[in-house]
Amino acid sequence: MKPIFTNDWADILHPEMEKPYYLKLRRSLAEEYRTRTVYPDMYRIFSAFHLTSFADTRVVILGQDPYHGPNQAHGLSFSVQPGVSVPPSLENIYRELHDDLGCPPVRHGFLEHWAKQGVLLLNNVLTVRRGAAASHQGLGWEAFTEAAIAAINERETPAVFILWGRSAQEKGAFIDGNRHLILKSAHPSPRSTDRGFFGSRPFSRTNDFLRSNGLPEIDWCLPAVPEGLKEEGKTNS
C-alpha cells in the first residue's frame, strides 16, 4: 500500500491500515466510491491528519460523520468548503463562539484556521453516502479513529477533547480525564442545542486549560475571508 501520511501520524496509522478490519474497510470503500456518490472526495478523507500533526494536536473536536450534501465535506469535522452555505450546526457553533469569546460570526464555514493551529477536526466515521447520514457507520472507521484518539490519550503532553453529542461522548470512555481535559455537552445541531450546548463555553475553557499547562492558546476567531482566498479576491457565500 502506498504511504498515505507524510507526517508523524504515519507511525501510528499506517500499522492500523495493515490490520484485517481496515483491509476489509478499504475493500468496502472501493466498491462504495465505484458505485455510489460518497463524501468527501477520496483524496480528502484524511485531511484532518494531514493538516494537524500528531505532535501538534492540542485540541480534538470530534464529530459524527461528514456532511452528506454536495460540495460540503472536505475531511474536517463541522467544516465545509469555501463558497458553501454555513450548515445549521456550525451556525450554532459560531453563536456559542461569539457568546464565549466575542468572535464575530463569519459568512463561511471553512475551519482550516483551527486545524493549522493544532485542532484535530476529526469525525468518528470518515466517509458517508450522499444524502444518507450515518450510512458508513459500522464499516470499520470507528476502530481507526479510536486508534488515533488512543494515541493522543497516551501522550505525555495533555490535550483537550471536545465531545459534542452522545456519539462523540462514547469515545470519552477511552480518555484519561486526570491528564486531559474532556469537555462534554449536547450536540450543536438545532435539535439539541438548548439541552446544554449554549452556554457551555468550550472555547474559553479550552484556552484556560492550555494556558495553565504552558501550551499556546488557540486563536478561535476565524478570518472573514477563508485562508488561501484573500489573494484571489474571492468573496464568501
Active centre residues (catalytic): 65
* Nearest to 202, CA basis, from 162, 159, 142: 162
Q: In what order do the strands lie in the sheet with 181-185?
A: 119-123, 59-63, 160-164, 181-185
- The cell numbers describing 48, all together, are 484532518
* Nearest to 66, CA basis, from 56, 58, 76: 76
- Side-chain-side CA neighbours of 98 within 13 Å: the count stands at 9
Q: Is 184 left (phi over 0), alpha (psi -120 to 50) or beta?
A: beta
